[in-house]
């Protein structure tokens, strides 16, 4: 297994990896608004996985849905390396990775460029003082609105009861369209939505191994 430094060095050579950091804000990001033409070379829908970690969900979804494009976003380059390497090894043309903080996400995508968002096992930020850091806080949802298409879907998978309840409260208070939710996905998963439990992140495997219930919410940011 390569060292962290070796992963970072190799990541710089991966054509399926991009990065956007604070110092790039003044010069902009040439991929913004151009993901389909500059990278994917098709007109298929683009799906984001925010906080993708090692990219298990990004890779898993891309393998199941060749007619969609997937971009995994995470700040940790040594994690992204795993998914990016797998995508290259398997010649997956519908996968890309973006190394960036979610705080800068509006700098990376243009209005109506994204069709769907997955938020998979994010840090629940359980302290009340860190509520604004939760990826389903209205601050973040308003950022997503800037590039998610009308009627675009948002998925949340989490083991955290507090984040699950918090997100449902945000949806209710902001009168967002709530499509479906469950506090026990493995018990209540619809047969036609098997991909919800067939693809597992590292953390999901860890949590289910401890007997914890997985929560899921599907909603929209607008009509």
Of 20, 49, 198, nearest in space to 121 by CA: 49
For helices 56-64 and 77-89, what crossing angle results, to 10°?
30
The sign of the torsion formed by the CA atoms of 23, 29, 35, 41 equals negative
Strand 17-19: give its sheet, edge to edge.
Answer: 17-19, 95-99, 69-74, 46-50, 114-120, 148-158, 215-220, 178-182
Q: Which residues participate in catalysis according to the annotation? A: 123
Q: Return d(Cα 139, Cα 120) in angstroms, integer.
A: 18
Q: Give SS3 for 81.
A: helix
The secondary structure element, H or E, covering residue 163 is: helix 161-173
């Amino acid at each position: 297994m390569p060292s962290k430094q070796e992963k970072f060095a190799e990541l710089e050579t991966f054509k399926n990896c991009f990065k956007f950091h604070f110092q790039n804000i003044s010069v902009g990001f040439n991929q913004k608004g151009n993901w389909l033409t500059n990278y994917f070379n098709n007109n298929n829908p683009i799906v984001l996985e925010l906080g993708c970690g090692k990219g298990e969900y990004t890779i898993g979804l891309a393998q199941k849905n060749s007619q969609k494009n997937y971009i995994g976003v995470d700040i940790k380059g040594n994690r992204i390396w795993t998914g990016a390497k797998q995508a290259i090894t398997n010649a997956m043309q519908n996968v890309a990775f973006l190394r960036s903080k979610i705080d800068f996400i509006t700098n990376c995508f243009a209005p109506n460029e994204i069709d769907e968002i997955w938020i998979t096992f994010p840090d629940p930020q359980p302290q009340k003082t860190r509520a604004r850091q939760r990826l389903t806080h209205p601050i973040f949802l308003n950022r997503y609105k800037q590039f998610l298409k009308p009627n675009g879907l948002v998925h949340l998978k989490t083991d955290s009861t507090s984040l699950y309840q918090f997100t449902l409260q945000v949806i209710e208070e902001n009168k967002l369209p709530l499509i479906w939710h469950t506090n026990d996905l493995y018990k209540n998963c619809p047969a036609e939505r098997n991909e919800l439990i067939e693809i597992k992140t590292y953390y999901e495997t860890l949590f289910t191994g401890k007997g914890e219930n997985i929560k899921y919410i599907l909603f929209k940011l607008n009509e």
